[in-house]
Amino acid sequence: MTELGGLTAAQLIDGYRKGEFTPVDATRAALDRVEGTEPAVNAFVRVDAEAALGQAAESTDRWRRGEPAGLLDGVPVSVKDILLQRGGPTLRGSLGIDPAGSWDEDAPSVARLREHGAVFIGKTTTPEFGWKGVTDSPVSGVTRNPYDPARTAGGSSGGGAAAVALGAGPVALGTDGGGSVRIPGAFCGVFALKPTYGRVPLYPASAFGTLAHVGPMTRDAADAALVMDVISGPDARDWSQLAPPPGSFRDGLDAGVRGLRVAYSPTLGGQVPVQPAVAAAVRGAVERLAELGAHVEEVDPDFSDPVEAFHTLWFSGAARVTQHFSDAQRAALDPGLREICEEGASASALDYLAAVDVRMELGRRMGQFHSTYDLLVTPTLPITAFEAGVEVPKDSGHRRWTGWTPFTYPFNLTQQPAATVPCGLDPAGLPIGVQLVAARHADPLVLRAAHALYASGAADVPGPELPTPGGS
């Protein structure tokens, strides 16, 4: 990493304040990183260097006057191409979206970033409508892993996680309906937070309903807390948003984990086979929490795999997205998306309500679980990154992406805050993530525990070697 490309958002802000470098310097460094890595990784669907440098110049002037616009003034950020960003089309990875139009509205989280002076580098890649746990689409092709471009970056916010890992801006906004910031965060070795549902306003409402969250992908937990202070601002367009948070997400971040009651579930009660290297790295992170004073107990939450209920809700949402597509538009869909749309369209109202019942029972069980335990710790994923361009690992026996993401989607059903923290590399040099889950509304606790891992060095994972432009 070059100096500026390796800095966190907080470090950039500190440097601007001290006059050590400017937002223009940081933006040029981020754009240089995009140019040098984009052919190999394919993290961006659109980059507007001229607009970014213009925003950076305005920010530089504000800092010189001592009048920054907000908490992220001059920080290079990227936005997943699911979220509206005025000035350009939001294609959602689909050939069925017409790029013509005014495109004059920001999503709530994007609007808050703009109000706080962030510099928009570009829109990052997504699978079509964010439907799966890897990132490839008819619009942008395959997004690859910064640690090994032959492997997937994960998804559906794979472009954003890859961008952060590569130093193309320290902050990326993503969406998470079944693990979509945590999956690529784990595969790409960055921090990612799925906040409590409604904590970050979302508009337009997701077709996947209340499974879908907006969350940050960052270089560490402290940056995520800073971003949450920005993007949690209210927006009247989201009817399901929560009340404004009572204080800053940075308050108490350094309080540590001493005395916290931590449940460690390595396999969800034997339900999930986990690669040995993943299991060892996650256990190491848990042991670090114990060394820092947490009371750790190996115990499993009381639920069986809710995948069928999740599929009913998820596939029905996908069918709703494409309900009005023409035959020609439907023929151009990602073939896997077309399959699940057909399955979702065949579900009855009673099927959907039965899935809602499963969801409510799971939420009840986890609510009771967290009356005893402050945190649940699991692997983020049972595997490390596999070959790029496929939905499931070769010879895995899985049919859909949910087969290899059993630790993530349950907590979209329950709407709990959950984060992934890097905790090591496997023998092939690929990142491993540990997942921290807390009760609904306990987002600060997740951030605090994650920050403790960073502060103790447990999350110190070497960054990727920069790929050669034009590489595979």
pLDDT recorded at residue 3: 87
Catalytic residue check, 180: yes
Q: What is the mean pLDDT of residues 312-319?
A: 98
Distance CA 257, CA 263 (A): 13
Q: Is pLDDT at 267 greater than 50 in this prediction?
A: yes
Separation between Cα atoms, residue 26 and residue 30, nearest integer Å: 6
- Residue pointed to by tokens 């395959």: 142
The arithmetic mean of pLDDT across residues 129-140, rounded, is 98
Contacts of 208 (CB under 8 A, 6+ apart): 130, 177, 313, 314, 317, 318
What's the rounded mean pLDDT across residues 263-287? 98
Percent helix, strand, coil in the chain (nearest 5)?
A: 35, 15, 45
Residue 467 has pLDDT above 70, yes or no: no
Once rounded to an integer, what is the mean pLDDT over residues 135-159? 98
Q: How many Cβ atoms from other residues are within 10 Å of residue 277's Cβ? A: 17
- Supply the mean pLDDT for the chain: 97
Dihedral angle of Cα 73, 77, 81, 87, to the nearest 10 degrees = 40
Residue with tokens 């290079």: 76
Per-residue HEC secondary structure of 77-100 comes to: EEEECCCCCCCCCCCCCCCCCCCC
pLDDT (0 to 100) of residue 466: 79
Rounded CA-CA distance 38/246 in Å is 40
pLDDT in tens, 48-76: 999 999 999 999 999 999 999 999 999 99
The residue type of 311 is H
**Does 78 participate in catalysis according to the annotation?**
no
Instruction: Look up residue 368 and give its two tokens.
Output: 């009771």
Specify the pLDDT at position 2: 54
Give the model confidence (pLDDT) of 205-256 as tens digits. Answer: 998 999 999 999 999 999 999 999 999 989 999 999 999 999 999 999 999 9
pLDDT mean over 192-205: 98
- Is 157 among the residues known to form the active site? no
| Interatomic CA distance for residues 436 and 440, integer angstroms | 13
Pairwise pLDDT comparison (471 vs 256), residue with the higher score: 256
- pLDDT value of position 384: 98
* pLDDT above 70 coverage of the chain, percent: 98
Query: Annotated catalytic residue: which of 180, 206, 265, 316?
Result: 180
Q: Across residues 325-347, what is the average pLDDT?
A: 97
381: its two tokens: 């994923």
Whose tokens are 């961006």? That residue is 44
Please tell me the predicted confidence (pLDDT) of residue 471: 45
Question: How far is it, in rounded angstroms, from Cα 216 to Cα 223?
Answer: 9
Supply the pLDDT for residue 470. Answer: 46
pLDDT 10s digits, 11-46: 999 999 999 999 999 999 999 999 999 999 999 999
pLDDT greater than 80 at residue 469: no
Q: Quote the CA–CA distance of 396 and 399 in Å, as a whole number.
A: 9
pLDDT over 90, % of the chain: 97
Supply the pLDDT for residue 175: 98
* Annotated catalytic residue, options 59, 156, 265, 316: 156
Domains in the chain, CATH or no CATH each: 9-308+342-455 (3.90.1300.10)
For residue 436, pLDDT over 70 is answered with: yes
pLDDT over 50 (residue 1): no
Residues 177-202, mean pLDDT to the nearest whole number: 98
